[in-house]
Amino acid sequence: MLLLNFSLKLKEKFFIIILLFLYIKILYVQKMGKKTRELVKDFADELVKILNKAYADELIAVFYYKHAAKMAKGLNAPNVASALEKAAKDEEEHADELAERIIQLGGEPLGDFGKIVPEANCPKVELPGDWSDLKGILRAAIDAERCAIDVYNKIIEWLRNVGRDPVTLHVIRHIMQEEMEHEEMFETILGEEY
Ligand SMILES: [Fe+2]
Ligand SMILES: [Fe+2]
């Protein structure tokens, strides 16, 4: 009986320790979320809207780049396709990074497929009708990258002047750097002034 009591107490102690651990963990997570919200509370809703528009841009770029990579025809098509695939992979990562930040800010990434195009800043990659027109495909990708660079440049300005949020600024700078690399990559393959 004594042994049973002792063992029950041990179990109780163990249970209480686990509960305490979970409670402290929940408190810690809530505190982090609350502090984040405090820092951005005056502009979080607007920032979520801005980031969601960029999120739509990224999803659209993934769609068109992947489609063009599959459809490109001609001698140099493998080179063009591999550049488009590389950029599409990066754009997908950008979309993930934006979605993650939107959630951290207390928002929700666009969840309605029908809203992707109307919400986007750069709604379409203007691909040529002829899939053997590789230069046309590259020009369309360059236009899309330039649109993305403009969008991120404006977001950086907004983050510096209106909604000061160093964490989002860091994310956007990193994405913009990669958009500049994409522009340069497509320009190099095009091999002529555009
Ligand atoms: Fe991107
Ligand atoms: Fe890009």
For residue 71, give Cα distances in angstroms to 2, 86, 90, 91: 78, 15, 20, 19
- The pLDDT tens digits along the chain (194 residues) read 444 555 667 777 766 776 676 665 545 444 557 887 788 999 999 999 999 999 999 999 999 999 999 999 999 999 999 999 999 999 999 999 999 999 999 999 999 999 999 999 998 899 999 999 999 999 999 999 999 999 999 999 999 999 999 999 999 999 999 999 999 999 999 999 99
- The domain limits of the chain are 1-41, 43-190
The alpha carbons of the chain give a radius of gyration, in whole angstroms, of 24
Ligand nearest to the CA of 144: 2
Q: Report how far ligand 2's centroid is from the alpha carbon of 167 (Å).
A: 21
Dist. CA 174 → ligand 1 center (Å): 10
- 162 alpha carbon to ligand 1 midpoint, in Å? 23
- Annotation: CATH topology of 43-190: Ferritin (1.20.1260)
Nearest residue to 54 (alpha-carbon basis) of 140, 151, 153: 151
Ligand nearest to C-alpha 65: 2
**70 alpha carbon – ligand 1 mean position (Å):** 19
